[in-house]
Amino acid sequence: MSQVSRDKLVIGNWKMHGGKDENQRRLDALLRHAPERTHGVQIGICVPFPYLAQTEQALRRSEIAWGTQDISAHNSGAYTGEVSATMAADFGVRYVIVGHSERRSLHLESLATIARKARRALESGMTPVVCVGETLEERETERTKEVVSSQVAGILDEIPENLWLKLVFAYEPVWAIGTGRTASPAQAQEVHAHIRELLSSRFTECVRVPILYGGSVKAMNAPDLFGEADVDGALVGGASLDSIEFAAICIAAADRASLISAS
């Protein structure tokens, strides 16, 4: 839909995988294999909370950013087990995934909670990566756009307008997460264009808000997905555990970014 050029953004989500030694090997491999030419591409890795210090230590001299997979909706207080946005910010976090479908389904997170989490992240100077997407049943009953529209609207309604440009959205069809079943580039593009329209109908500048695709992204399917006009990058789960594969996805994004800047 849009002709505006946006940087590509590739974010890995390690989920609840890893351990100190394994992480170190993964981070070292990522530093070795990530594209040297990062012009037009930003890369981030979202790790489990206990490994933020280790990740900060490993990546702080690199161009690769790091982040968390969730955050508390509260600022501070008696919330046993929760981690606040200011705590994450202490570790140099740039990206905070909020509303991942695993949190929505396993932890019954409501849209209002997700929106508050996004707001907390923004207030602490971090970038929320807000996940939206339909279930298989919703797709099969042709409710994808309706579902995604209400998810996007619920976030925008909670976030002050002057912060909208600091949001990142990730379209993650629930049926494609961890299933090996990717949305086709055309399916992804259709929903991304719809989200783009929703955003820019609220505020034209929102055409710049990155919209990532997530759901079984691999090095093999990344180039085609990145070739779509409104796919600005990827949120990568399983494939981010293999740093060579993840780096190859980042290289596909860098290749796409350089094609766009040359055109």
User: Minimum distance between the CB of residue 18 and ligand PGA, rounded to whole angstroms?
Assistant: 14
User: Is residue 68 close enough to count as binding ligand PGA by CB under 6 A?
Assistant: no
Residue nearest to ligand PGA (CB): 237
If the CB atoms of residues 162 and 247 are measured against ligand PGA, the closer one turns out to be 247
If the CB atoms of residues 17 and 74 are measured against ligand PGA, the closer one turns out to be 17
User: Is residue 214 close enough to count as binding ligand PGA by CB under 6 A?
Assistant: yes
Verify whether residue 100 is a known catalytic residue: yes
Interface of this chain with ligand PGA, residues 6 to 45, rule: CB under 6 A: 13
Distance in angstroms (rounded) separating the CA atoms of residues 28 and 22: 10
If the CB atoms of residues 79 and 106 are measured against ligand PGA, the closer one turns out to be 106
Q: Could you give the dihedral angle defined by the CA atoms of residues 151, 154, 158 and 161, in that order, rounded to the nearest 10 degrees?
A: 80
Interface of this chain with ligand PGA, residues 79 to 118, rule: CB under 6 A: none
User: Is residue 217 close enough to count as binding ligand PGA by CB under 6 A?
Assistant: yes
- Considering 109, 138, 172, 245, which one is annotated as catalytic? 172
If the CB atoms of residues 163 and 241 are measured against ligand PGA, the closer one turns out to be 241
Verify whether residue 205 is a known catalytic residue: no
User: Is residue 69 close enough to count as binding ligand PGA by CB under 6 A?
Assistant: no
The gap from C-alpha 214 to its chain's centroid, in whole angstroms, comes to 8
Give the residues across from 211 on adjacent strands.
Answer: 169
User: Is residue 67 close enough to count as binding ligand PGA by CB under 6 A?
Assistant: no
User: Minimum distance between the CB of residue 148 and ligand PGA, rounded to whole angstroms?
Assistant: 16
Q: What is the DSSP string of 26-63?
A: HHHHHHHHS-S--TTEEEEEE--GGGHHHHHHHHTTSS
Interface of this chain with ligand PGA, residues 154 to 213, rule: CB under 6 A: 172, 177-178
Q: How many residues bind ligand PGA (CB under 6 A)?
A: 13
Exposure b/e, 147-164, CB count within 10 A at least 16 = b: bbbebbebbbeebeeeeb
Distance in angstroms (rounded) separating the CA atoms of residues 91 and 252: 29
The terminus-to-terminus CA distance of the chain in angstroms comes to 17
Helix (H, G, I), strand (E, B) or coil at 144: helix
If the CB atoms of residues 126 and 236 are measured against ligand PGA, the closer one turns out to be 236
Alpha-carbon torsion 122, 199, 116, 42, what sign?
negative
Among 35, 40, 215, 233, interactor with ligand PGA by CB under 6 A: 215
User: Minimum distance between the CB of residue 160 and ligand PGA, rounded to whole angstroms?
Assistant: 27
The CA radius of gyration of the chain, in Å to the nearest whole number, is: 17
Asked whether 125 and 94 are in contact (CB, 8 A), the reply is: no
| Chain residues that interact with ligand PGA, rule: CB under 6 A | 13, 172, 177-178, 214-217, 235-239
Catalytic residues: 100, 172
